Chain A
Amino acid sequence: MHNFELLAFLLMGVLIMVAQVNLNKKLKEIGKAKIWSNQILSVGAIVLIAFGVLWAVSSLLEHETQAAMMGIIIFSGSGVLLGLIAFRLISRQS
């Protein structure tokens, strides 16, 4: 594994953890943390966004720019979409 790729993995791991901890804190504050669907959707969204970014990093290291862009659009895009669905669901619950 390329050093830069390794660094991206480590950084993304930290970002996922920070995002998840903060999200969980926020859900607890509004009393929605115990609803499983909220947890699954938000974790799924964070992981997919991070996966898309990592895919893009690896693809760029391979000089595959189109693959990098597609990785962002398909994987991170799906993550954003999932995040929006989660946000709407949480908003409706209140």
Chain B
Amino acid sequence: MKRREFIKKGSLAGIGTAASVSLLKQASAKEESTSAGANVKFEDSIDELYEFNKDYQRFRQKNTAFNLSFWSGSNPFTPEAKIEYPTSEDTPVKELTGEGIGKSGFGRLLAGVLWKQKYGKDPAGTPGFTALDKSLKDATCATETLTGSIFSRAFSGDSGPEITIRNKTGGKMFDLPFSLVKPHFPSGFAVEKDRWKFSSKKEASQVIKKAARLCGADLVGIAPFDERFIYKSQVHFPFDALSGKLKDGKSHPDNKFNLDRPVSFISGLDKQGKPILFKPKSVIVLIHEMDYEAYKTSPSFISAAASSKGYAAMIEISLKVAKFLRGIGYFSMHAGNDTGLSVPLAISAGLGEGSRMGLLVTEEFGPRIRISKVFTDLELEHDKPKTFGVKGFCEVCQKCADSCPSGAISKVPRVTDPENQVPNRSVNSGVMKWYNDNQKCLSFWLDNTIECANCVACCPYNKLDTWNHDLAKVATKVPVLQRITRYLDEMFGYGEVGSLKNQKQFWKKNI
């Protein structure tokens, strides 16, 4: 090799090495490569990622659009009201009597009454809404129905060894053992006296995560217990609320609505049947992936079936993790959508980021997930909240807002102080995010006769966890490519919603 050539090649090699070392140093400071392949920045707490107002108030569960539809005074979710839901101020509160439960719009949706009204005459006529599709939806939520709905804290009462199941007129049908219908109080799931000793918090976290994955969780993270994300009060939802009207004084004490029940953490019952209360130190957050193919048919009964399967997974897997913890001597309580806000807890657990549509976006599955959590007094090493560019990408993308049939998703930039922008009380205010009209969203569900998941289905992050999508996700982090990424996503045919073709073809595709 000649001298000049040697100097030239040596210089190039030197520059290359220096650049590599510099990049590596930058990356090792705060960024790590994750399983999804994108570079991720970690923060110490959720407060470093999201700005909370000083007057941030804990949210009352009764104000979620779902719960509000059951108890709000003039009941805007009745078929008569249709989708003309007030967006600036919601309806005045009427004292709950329980009379309107079976008649409420959401109750009618869950019971399939709305479907029958719209499609009953021709149950095979509309793809995605046929009797076949509806039966699939009903089947996937069979276990959820058996154990009680988990969008509220069903059966979180603290009395009685058994539950009376009543018919539509309030008459007694049969009694079920406490452990069957109150899965978070199963009598056989006692807390062992001898506690398993872990050598460190890190080891404890490793063991819990391993157990959670084996139990069926697709992702698992651990968050510190943060009271801000626990409901200020929660709704107590009786078991037979959907099947008929309640008769006070005649039904079991638990068969009464309570809209403002204080949140308590209960790890089973003692020998006298009284709840064993505990103070949580950690929250184990579990992620359950939902079916990609089924979600492509949104808004239909098929996509709703995938969602219901997710709900069933939530209750089953979180219950198993809670049982595991009790088996090694630690107090635990599992939860679905009840007890606290799942999205900020999942963000704190380092599982994803908040998005324009208000849902959690994970690196692996995007927003096509459900979240459950297990509260425990076991001290664990907590995961760090992370960011992988969702906030920046959601700001320019807006595909979910454009695909929302009810126009419930915000099309304006994120705001910290949502004064004058909060559509109604179903929105938890006081944090920098996009403020969506959840009541408007639910109103479309009633019109549609079943839930809608268009925002999830069309999201560019909603992809299968494969090499080509991991590669494409890199573009969502580069500001100049963000806008074009949305259009490329559409050009490539991803995220089409309301597709008759997808709804027709679901049953014909290869298994």
Check B119 for interface membership: any CB of A closer than 8 A. no
How big is the B interface, by class? Answer: 10 to 19
Bound form: Cα–Cα A65–B468 in Å = 15
A70/B468 in contact, CB under 8 A: no
**Interchain CB contact (< 8 A) of A66 among B293, B466, B468, B493:** B493
Do B494 and A67 touch (CB < 8 A)?
A: yes
The docked-state distance in angstroms from the alpha carbon of A94 to that of B305 is 65
> In the complex, which residues of chain A have a beta carbon less than 8 angstroms from the beta carbon of B509?
63
**Residues 454-511 (chain B) with a chain A CB within 8 angstroms:** 464, 466-468, 491-494, 509-510
Which listed residue (B468, B494, B510) contacts A58, Cβ 8 A? B468
- B464 and A67 form a contact (CB under 8 A): no
Is residue A20 within 8 Å, beta carbon to beta carbon, of the partner chain? no
- On whether A1 and B492 interact (CB within 8 A), knowing A63-B293, A63-B509, the answer reads no
Q: Which residues of A contact B467 (CB under 8 A)?
A: 1, 58
Q: How far is the CB of A86 from chain B (nearest CB, A)?
A: 24
Q: How far is the CA of A71 from the CA of B75 in the complex (A)?
A: 50
Residues of B within 8 Å of A64, CB to CB, are: 492-494
Bitwise interface map of A from 38 to 66 toward B, beta carbon under 8 Å scored 1, else 0: 00000000000000001100110011111
Verify B466–A67 contact, CB threshold 8 A: no
User: Helix, strand, loop or mixed for chain B's interface?
Assistant: loop
A27 CB, min distance to chain B CBs, angstroms: 21
Inter-chain CA distance A65–B494, complex, in Å, is 10
A-B contact count (CB 8 A): 29
Give min CB distance, B9 to chain A, whole Å: 14
B292: chain A residues within 8 A (beta carbon): 62
Residues 165-205 of B at the A interface (beta carbon under 8 Å):
none
CA gap between A66 and B494 in the complex, in Å: 8
* Residue on B nearest A54 in the bound complex, by CB: B468
A71 to B492 Cα, complex, angstroms:
8
Provide the bound-state CA to CA distance between A58 and B464, in Å.
10
Provide the residues of chain B in CB contact with A1, threshold 8 Å: 466-467
Over the window 278-304 of chain B, the binary record of Cβ atoms lying under 8 Å from chain A Cβ atoms (1 yes, 0 no) is 000000000000001100000000000
Partner of B493 from the list A55, A58, A67 (CB cut-off 8 Å) is: A67
With A59-B468, A62-B464 as contacts: A70 and B492 at CB distance below 8 Å: yes
User: Which residue from chain B places its CB closest to the CB of A61 in the assembled complex?
Assistant: B466
| B491 proximity list for chain A (CB < 8 A) | 70
Closest-by-CB residue of B relative to A65 is B493
CB distance from A7 to the nearest CB of B (A): 14
Q: Is the CB of A55 within 8 A of B468?
A: yes
Given A1-B466, A65-B493, A66-B493, list of 15 further CB < 8 A pairs?
Answer: A1-B467, A55-B468, A58-B466, A58-B467, A58-B468, A59-B492, A62-B292, A62-B464, A62-B466, A63-B293, A63-B509, A63-B510, A70-B492, A70-B493, A71-B492
What are 18 residue pairs bridging A and B, where the CB atoms are less than 8 Å apart in the complex?
A1-B466, A1-B467, A58-B466, A59-B468, A59-B492, A62-B292, A62-B466, A63-B509, A64-B493, A64-B494, A66-B492, A66-B493, A67-B492, A67-B493, A67-B494, A70-B491, A71-B468, A71-B492
Enumerate the 8 nearest inter-chain pairs by beta-carbon distance, A residue then B residue, closest first.
Answer: A66-B493, A67-B492, A70-B492, A58-B468, A55-B468, A67-B493, A62-B464, A58-B466
